[in-house]
Amino acid sequence: MEEIIFEIMQESDGGFVGECLTEGIFTQADTWEELRRNAKEAVAAFYFDRAERPSRIRLHFVRDEVLA
């Protein structure tokens, strides 16, 4: 497995929520830098007992904006 992708959305309070698109991994944080650290920790914890781990984590930021 080469890459794992998280879909990132910003919450109304300014924090971030990340959901992995292929595994049951979720994370959240108040800042972008904290989210990056939390995503790495969440992936490491999910794969802690597996030989095959992703070599890259992609954070795909999704912004949903409605214009009136």
The alpha carbon of 41 is separated from its chain's Cα centroid by a whole number of angstroms, namely 10
The CATH number of whichever domain residue 12 belongs to comes to: 3.30.160
Q: What is the pLDDT of residue 63?
A: 85
How far apart are the C-alpha atoms of 52 and 65, rounded to whole Å? 38
**pLDDT tens string 6-36:** 999 999 889 999 999 999 999 999 999 999 9
**pLDDT tens string 36-57:** 999 999 999 999 998 888 999 9
Whether the per-residue pLDDT at 1 is higher than 80: the answer is: no
Number of domains in the chain: 1
Q: What is the pLDDT of residue 30?
A: 97
Q: What is the pLDDT of residue 42?
A: 97
Domain that holds residue 37: 3-62
Let me know if residue 54 belongs to a domain: yes
Please list, in sequence order, all residues whose beta carbon lies within 8 angstroms of the beta carbon of residue 68, skipping any fewer than 6 positions away.
Answer: none
